[in-house]
Structure 1
Amino acid sequence: MNPQKKHTLPEGWEMKKLGNLALKVGSGITPKGGRETYLSSGIPIVRSQNVVDGRLILDEVAFISEKQHQKMKATHLRADDLLLNITGASIGRTCVVPSDFKEGNVNQHVCIIRLDSAKSDSNFVNAFLSCESGQKLIDSYQVGGGRQGLNFEQIKSFPIPLPPLPEQRRIAAVLGTWDTAIEQTTELLNALRARHRGLMHQLLTGKVRLPGFGGEWKRVVLSDLFERVNRRNTEGNTNVLTISAQQGLVGQGRYFNKNVASENLANYFLLYRGEFAYNKSYSAGYPMGAIKRLDQYDRGVLSPLYICFRMRNEAENEAKFFTHFFEAGCLNEGIGEIAQEGARNHGLLNVGINDFFSLRIVVPCLAEQRAIAQVLDASLKEIQYWEAKLEAVREQKRGLMQCLLTGQVRVPAEVA
C-alpha cells in the first residue's frame, strides 16, 4: 500500500495526517541499567509485550520507582492515549489506555500518540491502525518490506480516513461491543483452560479419584506399555510431519506453508495413525519437549531426531488416557533426570532412547484410564467449542471493521 495513494472517501470523510490530529507523538526510554532497574511494585512501565490485540495487558508489567517516573515526565501516560509498538516483531500493535488507568510510563519501544479529542476519537484511530488497511499502511513504511522500526515523522505522516467526530464515536462504540464479546469469551476460555490444567494434574496423578475407583495404581516402566517405532520410509511417503503445540502432529506444508525437510526422506521414520512421537526440542509450555499422537492422517514421516513409539497392547491400556498423560507433562520430571544437563544438540535435549523407555510411571487400571480420558475429553471439547466461538466473533469483527472503517456501511445517529 502506497501511503501517498489517494483514496475515494465517503461523503463527509476527510483524509488527515495523524500528526495533524495529535497533541503529542513520542516514546519513552528504558531506565539506565535496563531490566535490572525494574521493581516488583511501583509505577507501571508499559513495554511492547503489554500492547496486545488492541488491549493494554498488565499481567506481566514491569515497575519503576516514583523517582524514575518523575525523571520521565514527558512520557507519563494518560487515559485515552493511543499506544503503538514501533520496533521489533510486534511493530504495529496498538491499544488505547483505558479510562481507569491511574499512572504509568512507556519505554522506547512504545510510542504515545495523544490525540486532540476535538478532532478525533482515540478508539476510532486505534481501530483503523489495527485493521487490515491500517496494518498494510504500517508495513508500507518498512524499508524493503522488513519490520525494523518506525520513527516519529513517519507516524505523523500516516494518512487517516476520518469521518466526522460524532460518526467516529458511533463506529468506535459499535466495534466496542464486539471487543466486549471477545474479552468476555477470552476470560471464559482462560478459566476453562485453568480448570482443564487442574483436572489433568489431579486425575492423571491419582491425587483425586473418580467415583467408583480405589486401590493402588500400578508402577511400570514406559517400555512395559510402549515399544519403539523405527520403521523406515520405504514406501516413499512425502507427508512430512512436525509437532505443533496447538495442533499436534501436522504436515509441514500446512504448518510452515512449505516443506522444510530434506528432499531425501528414505531415512525418515514412517508413523501410522494412533502412534506417538516425542520431539526433544523444548518450547513454550513444553520445557522437556512435547509428545503427540498422530490423529489427523493415516500415515506420515518424521525426522530421525524424533523418538517414535506405539502401545504394545491397546486392549490393556487406553491410548486417549496416555495422550492426556503426555500432554500434561507427566514425564517431565523423569526426562529432566535423564537428560544430560547443558548438553543439547541443535536445541534438542540429550535424551537417550534406552533411558527414555526406562522412565518409571504409575498408571491406573484400564477402566479408570477410560473414565479419566472421558472426563478430560469432555473438558477439552468444551474448550475447543469456545475457541471456535471466539474465532467466529473475531472474524465477524474483522468483517465489520472493513465495512465501517471504509465507510461502506454508515452508522446512523440513532445507534449511538
Structure 2
Amino acid sequence: MKNVIIENTKGFKETKLGWIPEDWDIIKLEDIGHTVIGLTYNPQMVSEEGMLVLRSSNVQDRALKFEDNVYVDVNENKFNKTKTGDILICVRNGSRNLIGKNAIIDEASAGTAFGAFMLVFRSSDYKFLYQLFDTAYYGREIHRNLGATINSINTKNLKQFRFPFPKKKERMLISTCLSTWDTALTNLNSLIKAKQKLKKGLMQQLLSGKKRLPGFEQEWETWSFEELFKKVSRPVNWNDEETYDLISVRRRSGGLFHRDSLKGSQILTKKLYIAKKGDFLISKMQILHGASGLVNDKFDGMKISGSYIAVVPKNDTLLNMKFMEWYSKTPKFYHQTFRSSYGVHIEKMTFNYKLFEKEEIILPPLKEQNAITKVLNTSDKEIELLTNQRNQLQLQKKD
C-alpha cells in the first residue's frame, strides 16, 4: 500500500487513510475474522517427542520452516491448533524487527500448535490478508502500536487495524495476481539456497584438495603463513583539512565496506594507514568473528586504522590472494585464528600475529589456485545475479 498522488480524483474518494477507489470500504481486521491464542508452556514441558509447537523461528521468508522445532509433552486436545488458511503472526519477540512477521498455514502444516508469543488470525479472506500483511503500510501500523518497554503487539490493537477493502471479485483478482510473484519469489529463494549449498560444498572440497579439477595432478605443498605473508604499513601524512575515506571489515567473512568519510580534524586518533588493492586485511579485535578480507579496486587507496593488519604475498608465484580470500572463509581458517589468540572470553581475546605466522596451509600450485578461484567466483556471481533478480521481483510486487 503505497501513498500515491491522485491527479484525477474521478472514481476515487478521500478517507483518513488517503484516496481509495469509490467502491472500496475502510474496515477493521476484526470485521472479517478473529484471533486464536497460542499455547503457554514452561521448559519442563519440552521433550524430544510430543506435540510440535510453532514459534517465531519457524517463520522465515513469510513461510514455515521446520528446522528449529520444539516439542511439548502435553495433552494435545487442550490446546488450539492451526487450520488451513490461518495466518500465523509473531506478536512478541526480543527483536522489534520480528514483530508482525507472518506465514500462512497450508494443508501440510495444519493441525500444529503454536506458542504464546504467536497468534493465529482466522478469516475466509486469508488470501487477500496474506498479501496485505506483506505491505509497508501493515509494517508501519504494527510497529506504531508496539509497547514502549515490551516488544509485543496488543491483540486489541491488532483487531483494530484499519485498511482499504475492495469488493470480493477484486480481492480475488488482487490475491491471484500477487500470488504469481510469491510463486516466483519462492522458486528463486529455493534456487538461491541450492546454489549456496553447492558453493559451500565446492569450497569444502576444492580448498582442501579432496576434489581436484580436471587436468591437475601435481602434489600440494605445506607452507607456514610466515613463509607466505609479509606485513605492509603505509602511514598517512596527516592533514586536518584532508577528507579521509575510512574502511572496515565485516564479521563472518562479509567483506569490506566504506565506513565513513571524515576530515582529519574530525578524527580523534591521528594514525591511519593506506590500504592498497591486493592487501589482505585482518582485524586484530574481530578476526575471531571472521573479520578479514581482500582489498579490491573499489577500496584501493582508502584508509584503515591501526586495529588492522595488512599483509601481501612474499612471492606472487606461490600464492594467489584471491585464493587466500576464499580460504579465509573456511572453518579451518577460523580455527587457526582462534588458536592464534589468547584471553578468557571470545569477545576479549587478542589476536597474536606471531602465533598466526606459525600456522600452516596446504597450497596447490598457482595455476590450480587460479582455476579454483575462478570456479568459486563463478558460483558466487550466479548467486549474486539470482539475488538481484529476486530483489527486483520484490520491488515489482511492492510497486
What TM-score, normalized to structure 1?
0.82
Structure 2 portions without partners, runs of 5+? 3-14
Using the aligned pairs only, state the percent identity: 23
CA change 1:166–1:6 in 2 (3 A) is: same
CA change 1:335–1:297 in 2 (3 A) is: closer
1:76 and 2:81 aligned: yes
Task: Give the drift of 1:252.
Answer: 1.7
Partner of 1:392: 392
1:87 and 2:92 aligned: yes
Partner of 2:68: 60
- Determine which of 113, 122, 126 is the counterpart of 1:122: 126
Structure 1 portions without partners, runs of 5+? 400-416
- Counterparts of 2:220 and 2:380 in 1: how far apart (Å)? 24
Partner of 2:8: none
Task: Give the drift of 1:41.
Answer: 4.0
- Counterparts of 2:147 and 2:19 in 1: how far apart (Å)? 26
1:140 and 2:144 aligned: yes
Task: Give the drift of 1:251.
Answer: 0.8
Give yes or no for contact 1:280–1:349 (8 Å, CA) kept in 2.
Answer: no
Partner of 2:9: none
Give yes or no for contact 2:35–2:120 (8 Å, CA) kept in 1.
Answer: yes
Give yes or no for contact 2:17–2:163 (8 Å, CA) kept in 1.
Answer: no
Partner of 2:257: 250
Task: Give the drift of 1:194.
Answer: 0.8
- Counterparts of 2:130 and 2:150 in 1: how far apart (Å)? 20
Task: Give the drift of 1:157.
Answer: 0.6
- Counterparts of 2:42 and 2:52 in 1: how far apart (Å)? 16
- Determine which of 169, 177, 180 is the counterpart of 2:180: 177
Partner of 2:375: 375
CA change 1:313–1:68 in 2 (3 A) is: farther
- Counterparts of 1:83 and 1:70 in 2: how far apart (Å)? 20
CA change 1:122–1:281 in 2 (3 A) is: farther
Deviations 1:37-95 (A, max 9, x none): 43344432111122233222222222223x25434x1x311111112222232012122
Task: Give the drift of 1:362.
Answer: 1.0
Task: Give the drift of 1:363.
Answer: 0.6
Partner of 2:11: none
1:28 and 2:34 aligned: no
List structure 1 segments (4+ residues) > 6 angstroms apart after TM superposition: none
Task: Give the drift of 1:184.
Answer: 0.7
1:241 and 2:247 aligned: yes
- Determine which of 300, 303, 307 is the counterpart of 2:302: 300
Equivalent residue of 2:20, what SS?
Answer: coil
Equivalent residue of 1:154, what SS?
Answer: helix
Deviations 1:154-200 (A, max 9, x none): 11110021112232222111111111111111111111111111111
Deviations 1:244-284 (A, max 9, x none): 35751011249xxx99xx832422343212211123566xx
Partner of 1:12: 23
- Counterparts of 1:16 and 1:329 in 2: how far apart (Å)? 53
- Counterparts of 1:233 and 1:329 in 2: how far apart (Å)? 35
- Counterparts of 1:253 and 1:221 in 2: how far apart (Å)? 35
Give yes or no for contact 1:219–1:360 (8 Å, CA) kept in 2.
Answer: yes
Give yes or no for contact 1:18–1:157 (8 Å, CA) kept in 2.
Answer: yes
Give yes or no for contact 2:288–2:338 (8 Å, CA) kept in 1.
Answer: no
1:264 and 2:268 aligned: yes
- Counterparts of 1:303 and 1:41 in 2: how far apart (Å)? 52
Give yes or no for contact 1:54–1:126 (8 Å, CA) kept in 2.
Answer: no
Equivalent residue of 2:395, what SS?
Answer: helix
Partner of 1:405: none
Equivalent residue of 2:18, what SS?
Answer: coil
Partner of 2:6: none
Equivalent residue of 1:252, what SS?
Answer: strand
1:353 and 2:353 aligned: yes
- Counterparts of 1:14 and 1:228 in 2: how far apart (Å)? 68
Partner of 2:12: none
Task: Give the drift of 1:131.
Answer: 0.6
Query: Greater shift after overlay, 78-87 or 296-305?
Result: 296-305
AA at the equivalent of 1:292: G
CA change 1:348–1:238 in 2 (3 A) is: farther
CA change 1:158–1:253 in 2 (3 A) is: farther
RMSD: 2.7
1:232 and 2:235 aligned: yes
AA at the equivalent of 2:16: K
- Determine which of 333, 336, 343 is the counterpart of 1:334: 336
Give yes or no for contact 1:290–1:327 (8 Å, CA) kept in 2.
Answer: no
Task: Give the drift of 1:354.
Answer: 0.8
AA at the equivalent of 1:293: L
Give yes or no for contact 1:12–1:163 (8 Å, CA) kept in 2.
Answer: yes
- Counterparts of 1:269 and 1:32 in 2: how far apart (Å)? 54
- Determine which of 151, 154, 159 is the counterpart of 2:157: 154
- Counterparts of 2:304 and 2:88 in 1: how far apart (Å)? 44
AA at the equivalent of 2:83: R
Give yes or no for contact 1:141–1:154 (8 Å, CA) kept in 2.
Answer: yes
Give yes or no for contact 1:139–1:147 (8 Å, CA) kept in 2.
Answer: no
AA at the equivalent of 1:202: Q
- Counterparts of 2:314 and 2:246 in 1: how far apart (Å)? 25
What TM-score, normalized to structure 2?
0.85
Partner of 2:5: none
AA at the equivalent of 2:292: I
Q: Which has the higher strand share?
A: 2
- Determine which of 337, 342, 345 is the counterpart of 1:343: 345
